[in-house]
Structure 1
Amino acid sequence: MNEDTFWQLIEDCRPTEPDPDAELLADTLAERLAQCPLSLVIGFAEQLSWALFRLDRKEYGHDLGGDAFLYTRAAVVAAGRTVFDSVLEDPAAFAPYATDLIWAEPLLYTPDRAYKRITGKEWDRDTRYSYESCSNIEGWADHPRFMAGQGR
């Protein structure tokens, strides 16, 4: 799955009514992906991890803890490509998500749910990029925690 297909799928599955925690989005995405070949589910997981990894930077999450920062980054992805691109371009656009604690945790489990529906098995997923907070070492390179040699 390429990046354009990923974002189009997010857009196509976003509900028209308010979805504060992205539960409806996650359900619709999982349902749609479960009807696709397994390769598309894997591609979705890779693109989701890549998007979350790109938002894993000190300028976005210096005031948020690990899970809060992860779920907030997921909310930016759930908001769609336009919001995602605006946040990448201007870190200040991330502030409303962090300040209001807008989370989209269910989005993280979407590929796993689709995988299970297709295969009947749990997925021990391992994507090229980790979406866990502070995994993007380059994005945190001059953060005091890393400069002191403490690592992740």
Structure 2
Amino acid sequence: MHENTFWQLIDDCTPPTPDPDAEQLAAALTHRLSAGPLATVVGFAEQLSWALHRLDRREYGNRNGLSGDSFLYTRAAVVAAGRGAYEATLHDPRLFTPYVEDLIWAERLLYVPDEAYGRITGEEWDRSTRYSYESYSNTEGWADA
């Protein structure tokens, strides 16, 4: 899946009403991905992992004192906010702070590929992606400056 396709899918599935924890977004994404080919689910998982991995950096996590899980769920909220918010946050780490202060988490977004895979195949997905989205796994992002 191309990066533009990933962000268009996020945009297309974003509900018209506020959805700060991305529950509705995740449900819509799961439904949409479940209706397509398995390759689309795999591509979505890869793009999601890459987006989360890119936010796994010292300038986002270190300054906010978050636990590993909290840091991951907050990064997912930035992705759920869409491409504009995501790219702005990549360029200005201070934009990450409101997600932390307002406890905006999008944990449910993390399970979208697994749920879509399960609906298509009837099996649990023991997946791995090229990039890990687990907190503090981006060694380049946590290297001393």
Into which bin does the TM-score normalised by the smaller protein fall? over 0.9
Looking at structure 2, the residues matched to 99 and 141 of structure 1 have their Cα atoms a distance apart, in angstroms, of: 25
Pairing 1:119–2:121 present: yes
Q: C-alpha offsets along residues 109-130 of structure 1, whole Å, 9 cap, x if unaligned?
A: 0000000000000000100000
Looking at structure 1, the residues matched to 125 and 72 of structure 2 have their Cα atoms a distance apart, in angstroms, of: 20
Q: Which moved more, 1:128-137 or 1:16-25?
A: 16-25
Looking at structure 2, the residues matched to 40 and 117 of structure 1 have their Cα atoms a distance apart, in angstroms, of: 13
Paired residue for 1:92, among 82, 91, 94?
A: 94
- Equivalent residue letter for 1:23: E
The equivalent of 1:110 in structure 2 is 112
The equivalent of 2:56 in structure 1 is 56
Gaps of 5+ in 1: 144-152
The equivalent of 2:67 in structure 1 is 65
Q: Could you tell me how far 1:20 is from its partner in structure 2? A: 2.1
Looking at structure 1, the residues matched to 60 and 76 of structure 2 have their Cα atoms a distance apart, in angstroms, of: 12
- Equivalent residue letter for 1:40: T
Looking at structure 1, the residues matched to 41 and 69 of structure 2 have their Cα atoms a distance apart, in angstroms, of: 24
Pairing 1:46–2:46 present: yes
Looking at structure 2, the residues matched to 109 and 8 of structure 1 have their Cα atoms a distance apart, in angstroms, of: 19
The equivalent of 1:24 in structure 2 is 24
CA RMSD, aligned part only? Answer: 0.9
Q: Could you tell me how far 1:36 is from its partner in structure 2? A: 0.7
The equivalent of 1:130 in structure 2 is 132
Looking at structure 2, the residues matched to 118 and 76 of structure 1 have their Cα atoms a distance apart, in angstroms, of: 28
Looking at structure 2, the residues matched to 5 and 99 of structure 1 have their Cα atoms a distance apart, in angstroms, of: 31
The equivalent of 1:142 in structure 2 is 144
Deviating 4+ runs (over 6 angstroms):
none
SS in 1 for 2:50: helix
Give the TM-score of the pair, scaled to structure 1: 0.92
- Equivalent residue letter for 1:58: R
Q: Could you tell me how far 1:69 is from its partner in structure 2? A: 0.2
Q: Could you tell me how far 1:101 is from its partner in structure 2? A: 1.4
The equivalent of 2:79 in structure 1 is 77
SS in 1 for 2:137: coil
- Percent identity for Structure 1 against Structure 2: 69
Looking at structure 2, the residues matched to 21 and 122 of structure 1 have their Cα atoms a distance apart, in angstroms, of: 24
Q: Could you tell me how far 1:18 is from its partner in structure 2? A: 1.5
